[in-house]
Amino acid sequence: MCPSGFSSSSTAEEVTQGIHGDGLTAIVTGTTHGIGIETARVLALRGVHVIMAVRNVVAAKAVKEAILKEIHTAKVDVKELDLSSMASVRKFASEFTSSGFPLNILINNAGITATPFSLSKDNIELQFATNHLGHFLLTHLLLDTMKKTASVSKRQGRIVNVSSDGHQYTYPEGIRFDKINDESSFQLWRAYGQSKLANILHAKELARRFKEDRVDITANSLHPGAIITNIYKPEISGAVPTDLINMLGNYAMKSIQQGAATTCYVALHPHVKGVSGEYFSDNNVAKASSLAKNTDLAKKLWDFSMKIID
Find the catalytic residue in 192, 232, 251, 265.
Answer: 192
- Whether the pTM exceeds 0.75: the reply is yes
For the chain, the structural domain boundaries read 16-309
Reading the chain (310 residues) residue by residue, the pLDDT tens digits are: 579 999 999 999 999 999 999 999 999 999 999 999 999 999 999 999 999 999 999 999 999 999 999 999 999 999 999 999 999 999 999 999 999 999 999 999 999 998 999 999 999 999 999 999 999 999 999 999 999 999 999 999 999 999 999 999 999 999 999 999 999 999 999 999 999 999 999 999 999 999 999 999 999 999 998 875 544 444 444 567 777 666 665 556 899 999 999 999 999 999 999 999 999 999 999 999 999 999 999 999 999 999 999 9
Q: 16-309: which CATH topology?
A: Rossmann fold (3.40.50)
Nearest Cα to 83, choosing from 57, 112, 58?
112
Residue 12, phi-psi category: left (phi > 0), alpha (psi -120 to 50), beta (remainder): alpha
Residues near 172 by beta carbon (within 8 Å), at least 6 away in sequence: none
Q: How far apart are CA 292 and CA 198, in angstroms?
A: 8
- With beta carbons less than 8 A apart as the criterion, state whether 42 and 263 touch: no
Tell me if residue 169 is catalytic. Answer: no
What does the chain come to in residues? 310
